[in-house]
Copies of this chain bind each other. A is one copy, B any other.
Amino acid sequence: MSADSSRANSFAEDTLLAHIYSTVTGSEHVLVGPGDDMAMISVGNQQLLAAKDFLVEGRHFLPTASMAQIGRKAVTRNISDVAAMAAKPVAILAACVLPRSISQTQAQELVNAISQTAAHFGAPLIGGDTCVHVANGPLTISVTVLAQPLEGVKPILRSGAHAGDQLFVTGALGGSLQKDGGGHHFTFEPRLAECHALARLLGSNVHAMMDLSDGLARDGARFAQASALQAVIIAEQLPCTPACVQAHTQVNAWRGALGDGEDYELLFAVAAGVQVPATIGPNNTPITRIGLLQALPSPNDIALVCLHNHQSVDVSKLGHWHDSI
């Protein structure tokens, strides 16, 4: 379960999430509850993973986006959660609240994009719901993705990291959402092939994994918190996209890599001393070591430290990109 942030809002969403986690009742069928990229339940002798994400006009895309872009992103955003567990997508459900102004053609384009993207990832659209706003309201899509563990691969949780683990990301970060609303966030390929290759290559030495959507500064802190550790990120080691460099300048690109969000890259922790290849998967996706995880110096210490020029810099205000559109 995840929450988008909003500085202007009167309540703290992380507080709401903490409340959600506290209200959840246990069950013998629930193997992984709220707080990870996907939940996992037992279904008879099988394991099933499930996650759901919203895509809301104004927050996750601008009104100028095409239905093809919106429908694709609604699905890929969820497939990225499957990648973060090193699992295998099996089906999706999609629910859409449509603005009153939408045309039949647009609605069908949206459905086509959802259905085709889902099929592309081996997760056919099996159900859902549609309705139309009574008054004005934004196009809102909720996708639920169902997944199963990859054969021979135990799903990788957020919470399995150890002190001393090496911290890596796939691909490059920042600049995914351009000022005009376009960019990589509409075209990214969820890192399914990469996570499967990593899990097969490194096995249980991959201790923890998540996908990055709210920016490394924010998600990295959550990642460390899930294992009650502290992440130490070396700003100079962050891989930045050309779009990130262009938006922030070469000197400040590291800030974009930490704060921009919408990367849908994988952040993962590997046991100390284990050799990790420089690229992975059929497209030779780069893997970059960006820091490490260490024991919290004190119980109330911050969960993420960023070192720039060997100095700790406060990045706790980064990672709230959603306000910017």
Contacts and interface: CB of A to CB of B under 8 A. Distances in A.
A25 B123 CA distance: 10
Contacts of A132: 4, 6, 9, 13, 59
Contacts of A116: 23
Interface string A3-25: 11010111111011101100111
Contacts of A46: 43-46
Contact of A125 (B20, B36, B128): B20
B90 A125 contact: no
Interface string A29-55: 110111010110101111010111110
A75 to B, nearest CB: 13
A278 interface: no
A11 to B, nearest CB: 4
A133 B8 CA distance: 11
A282 interface: no
A233 B103 CA distance: 35
A100 B230 CA distance: 32
A17 B130 contact: yes
B91 A39 contact: yes
Contacts of A41: 90-91, 126, 146
A154 to B, nearest CB: 16
Identical subunits present: 2
Given A53-B95, A144-B52, A107 B11 contact: yes
A124 interface: yes
Most interface-central of A25, A115, A129, A325 (chain B CB within 10 A): A129
A127 interface: yes
B59 A134 contact: yes
A160 interface: no
A36 to B, nearest CB: 8
A111 interface: yes
B56 A144 contact: no
Given A20-B130, A25-B119, A33-B126, 16 more contacts: A13-B131, A29-B90, A32-B126, A34-B127, A34-B128, A41-B91, A41-B126, A44-B45, A44-B46, A52-B52, A56-B134, A131-B322, A137-B137, A137-B140, A140-B140, A142-B142
18 contacts: A4-B130, A12-B104, A16-B104, A24-B124, A30-B91, A33-B126, A43-B46, A45-B46, A48-B48, A50-B91, A50-B146, A52-B128, A52-B144, A54-B97, A56-B133, A56-B137, A59-B131, A134-B323
